[in-house]
Amino acid sequence: MSSHHFKQRPPRLDRLFQQYDFPVWFVTFNTANRVPWLPCSDVHQAFMTFALRAYEEHSIAVGRYVLMPDHVHLFVSGHNIKLGHWIGMLKQSLAKAGNIQGKAWQEGFFDHLLRNSESYSQKWEYVRDNPIRAGFVENWSEWPWLGELIEIKME
């Protein structure tokens, strides 16, 4: 992905996170009862703000991500990241931005530790095509709720 602007979605920021001794996780979490409230500008902006603050303040890098109507996919890396706590804080931020009253999220999340760059590429190709498989767009680049904030390089 280049750093050029794409229609209706943010570009990858001109930042690079070198992954050496830092694990990279593929994370998915769902809204409560799979209620579709995620794809909106306020939630997307809250996601980006949260992720950039995590990078600037804690060196936690969110790479590629997709916000679907009822779930989130993201890739995250950082040294000594407490993943459960971090995801909990992200969920709170998104629920607040979405003005969700009551239970916003399913309990927990799915995480998978990536072992190599091939795994990262394969997972990304699969999740970036979610909007196509769901019938929302014909090409993944048309979905406004995906992008890459920090480029995570795996060896």
Beta-strand relationship, 71-77 and 16-18: unpaired
**Which pair of tokens denotes residue 150?**
């920090």
Alpha carbon distance, N-terminus to C-terminus of the chain:
18
Q: Is the dihedral of CA 5, 96, 78, 120 positive or negative?
A: negative
Q: What integer pLDDT is reported at residue 17 of this predicted model?
A: 41
Chain centroid offset of residue 149 CA = 9
Which residue type is seen at 1? M
So what's the pLDDT on residue 1? 39
Domain boundaries, the chain: 16-153
**Residue 81, token pair as written in the block:** 């990241």
**pLDDT the model gives residue 13:** 41
Cα–Cα distance measured from residue 141 to residue 9, given in angstroms and rounded to the nearest whole number? 9
Residue 38, CB half-sphere, CA atoms under 13 Å: how many? Answer: 27
C-alpha distance from residue 72 to each of 3, 11, 34, 37, 142 (Å): 22, 18, 11, 11, 17
Domain made up of 16-153: CATH architecture: 2-Layer Sandwich (3.30)
Which tokens hold the place of 112? 């998978």
Per residue of the chain (155 residues), give pLDDT as tens.
333 333 444 444 444 444 446 789 999 999 999 999 999 999 999 999 999 999 999 999 999 999 999 999 999 999 888 999 999 999 999 999 999 999 999 999 999 999 888 788 899 999 999 999 999 999 999 999 999 999 998 86
Q: Let me know: does 110 contact 29? Beta carbons within 8 Å.
A: yes
Question: What was the pLDDT predicted at 21?
Answer: 61
Backbone angles phi, psi at 14, to 5 degrees: -80, 60
Q: Computed over its alpha carbons, how large is the radius of gyration of the chain?
A: 15
